[in-house]
Amino acid sequence: MTNEAPAMEQLIGREYEHGFITDVESETLPPGLNEDVIRHISGKKNEPAFMLEWRLRAYNQWLTMVAPDWAKLRHPPLDLQAISYYSAPKGGGKKLESLDEVDPEILETYKKLGIPLEEQKLLANVAVDAVFDSVSVVTTFKKTLAKAGVIFCSISEAVQEHPELVQQYLGSVVSQKDNYFAALNAAVFSDGTFVYIPKGVRCPMELSTYFRINQANTGQFERTLIIAEAGSHVSYLEGCTAPSRDENQLHAAVVELIALEDATIKYSTVQNWYPGDREGRGGIYNFVTKRGDCRGDRSRISWTQVETGSAITWKYPSCILRGNDSIGEFYSVAVTRGMQQADTGTKMIHIGRNTSSTIVSKGISAVQGSNAYRGLVRVGQKAANARNHTQCDSLLIGDQCSAHTYPYIEVRNPSAKVEHEATTSKIGEDQLFYCRQRGLSAEEAIALIVNGFCKEVFKELPLEFAAEAQKLLNVTLEGAVG
């Protein structure tokens, strides 16, 4: 037949949409890492002494550590002396009173990305913190939120204005010495988001942070800290993109969530960092430590992630179920195509009594993508009646990709109930032919299968973003068709 269908490869090999570079004057530190660099970052941010000491302790800890290599990932050794640890648009770092003071080029960038920062143009119910390279450029709806007592600002601002909260909670979930990248982040983190929800408050709008890496040869080390006091409720979403560059760039973030009694934190991520080109050149190394602490009884932390970008993704958003009757949830869609690699999953650490956790992981591998689910469910001695249900599904598109599952289960209490289910399925030429014979195009067929596969996770996303995520996934997998 001459009527060649679009080959699998073409279908899923579409170009990255957000790869443009913003031409903005930046102040970037020369590459390299030493104590002076840390002092410089801390000084730039006008930090109190405790913060600098904290950073230096982390740095000294980091010097004694080695990069982990146990995950199923391949990459050349990282040269951490070759990247710059601080880059800010000129004039950044100082506090801006209104949007008019933000460089128009940067506003334009966010507009192109579909995130207008003018409050009247934003989704009515979503407040945004926009982080550009190492600094937060603007946070919207601050006043509306302040009325409810909610603090939503950049972490730099929080260090200055709410040092007592920062000092009390920073590093209390992910300690400085937790792992190599967490220690590095603690030493050099430049910006990120801070959220504080007071007792009994239901946050009146969705909170979100939009991360953009722009400068070449820089790393982004953001730090996010969310504290939900007793009986409060918050839903938070982060989105990420970066320009297409030939070099790899490091993104080593740390996210800490603290939920006190009866509090609920819902944390959603739509990650679309630049994945590198078809040959595997460039792309973001997304090495992230995310952990939530269900510190209070009946607290609940829910992670939802849609991971479509990055050359390499290494992250395990976890829940420490310390409070009795606390609940941890992890819903994940991870897509790898081209030469992308992902090693992602979660840890559910059951400590309190009657704790329960749910894990739903959907891995999609296409072309030569490699996708690994790695998850730990640990039930401690005192965690009577702990419950876990894990559902771990892999979808393979084409015949050169791979999916791997590494579930670790450790149970030290005889009353625990732990379930693990796993499936692997494939979209091959057979499936596409079947759908096309019934009148669907190949693109429609893939979208149908992928959306069916992911629907359990998409329904967990905030309504405003579910459609967005579905669309992103479809373009990621379908060529130019949306």
Partner 1 sequence: MLSIKNLHAGVDNTPILKGLNLEIGAGEVHAIMGPNGSGKSTLAHVLTGRDGYQVSAGDVLFNNELINDFTVEQRAHLGIFLAMQYPVELPGVNNMIFLKESLNRILQARNEAPLDAVGFIKRVNEVARKVNMDPALLKRNVNSGFSGGEKKRNEIFQMALLEPKLAILDETDSGLDIDALRIVSEGVNALRDRSRSMIIVTHYQRLLDYIEPDFVHVLAGGRIIRSGDKTLALELEDKGYSWLLDEVAA
Instruction: Candidates 238-246, 257-265, 342-350, 434-442: pick the segment binding partner 1 (CB under 8 A).
Output: 434-442
Decide whether 100 or 430 has the Cβ nearer to partner 1. 430
3-state secondary structure 109-171: HHHHCCCCCCHHHCCCCEEEEEEECCEEEEECCHHHHHHCCCEEEEHHHHHHHCHHHHHHHCC
Instruction: Candidates 48-56, 126-134, 154-162, 428-436: pick the segment binding partner 1 (CB under 8 A).
Output: 428-436
Residue 397 engages partner 1 in binding (rule: CB under 8 A): no
Residue 10 engages partner 1 in binding (rule: CB under 8 A): no
With CB under 8 A as the contact rule, the residue among 397, 435, 466, 477 that binds partner 1 is 435
Decide whether 259 or 445 has the Cβ nearer to partner 1. 445
Decide whether 8 or 411 has the Cβ nearer to partner 1. 8
Residue 431 engages partner 1 in binding (rule: CB under 8 A): yes
Whole-number Å distance between alpha carbons of 7 and 370? 20
Q: Residue 163 class from Cβ within 10 Å (0-12 exposed, 13-18 middle, 19+ buried)?
A: middle
What number of chain residues touch partner 1 (CB under 8 A)? 28
CB of 420 to partner 1, least distance (A): 19
Tell me 353's DSSP state. Answer: T
Whole-number Å distance between alpha carbons of 482 and 475? 5
With CB under 8 A as the contact rule, the residue among 121, 455, 459, 471 that binds partner 1 is 455
Decide whether 5 or 99 has the Cβ nearer to partner 1. 5
- Cα distances (Å, whole numbers) of residue 117 to 137, 165, 305, 467: 10, 28, 23, 20
Residue 202 engages partner 1 in binding (rule: CB under 8 A): no
Whole-number Å distance between alpha carbons of 87 and 301? 33
Contacts of residue 30, Cβ cutoff 8 Å, sequence gap at least 6: 84
Residue 9 engages partner 1 in binding (rule: CB under 8 A): no
């913060």: which residue's tokens?
Answer: 51
Instruction: Candidates 192-200, 201-209, 266-274, 448-456: pick the segment binding partner 1 (CB under 8 A).
Output: 448-456
Decide whether 251 or 337 has the Cβ nearer to partner 1. 337
**Looking at the chain, how many residues does it have?**
482
Residue 21 engages partner 1 in binding (rule: CB under 8 A): no
Pairing of strands 312-315, 402-411: unpaired
Residue 274 engages partner 1 in binding (rule: CB under 8 A): no
Residue 436 engages partner 1 in binding (rule: CB under 8 A): yes
Whole-number Å distance between alpha carbons of 254 and 359? 21
Binding site residues, partner 1, CB under 8 A: 1-5, 395, 423, 425-427, 429-431, 433-441, 444, 448-449, 452-453, 455
